[in-house]
């Protein structure tokens, strides 16, 4: 399994000069993280790309932020480690 998350620096800075465009701005109608079962990181990123919300807009200059490590992270999850919460995506308006 893989944990994919948007680049947290982009969440707080919609005009990040390093990425030129923030696919997660504005924040609504978008996925900010996913847990995906896949054999490889490439496969996980491909599934995330298919399951994306409006952050995956082909009209933007970043049409595939889940496939691009500059915009998203992808970390393999294993059963090893302490018991506890793996992921909680919580946004309050």
Dump pLDDT digits (tens) for 25-63.
Answer: 777 888 899 999 999 999 999 999 999 988 887 666 677
pLDDT band at 14 (very low <50, low <70, confident <90, very high): low
Query: What is the number of domains present in the chain?
Result: 1
Range of the domain at 31: 2-76
pLDDT at position 16 over 70: no
92 in a structural domain? no
33 in a structural domain? yes
CB neighbourhood size of 86 (10 A): 10
Which whole number is the average pLDDT over 17-29? Answer: 72
60 in a structural domain? yes
Q: What is the pTM of this model?
A: 0.77
- CA 13/CA 7 separation, integer angstroms: 10
């Amino acid at each position: 399994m893989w944990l994919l998350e948007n680049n947290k620096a982009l969440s707080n800075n919609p005009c990040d000069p390093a990425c030129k465009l923030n696919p997660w701005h504005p924040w609504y109608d978008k996925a900010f993280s996913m847990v995906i079962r896949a054999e490889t990181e490439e496969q996980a990123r491909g599934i995330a790309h298919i399951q994306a919300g409006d952050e995956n807009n082909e009209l933007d200059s970043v049409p595939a932020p889940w496939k691009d490590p500059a915009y998203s992270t992808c970390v393999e999850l294993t059963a090893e480690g302490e018991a506890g919460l793996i992921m909680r995506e919580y946004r309050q308006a």
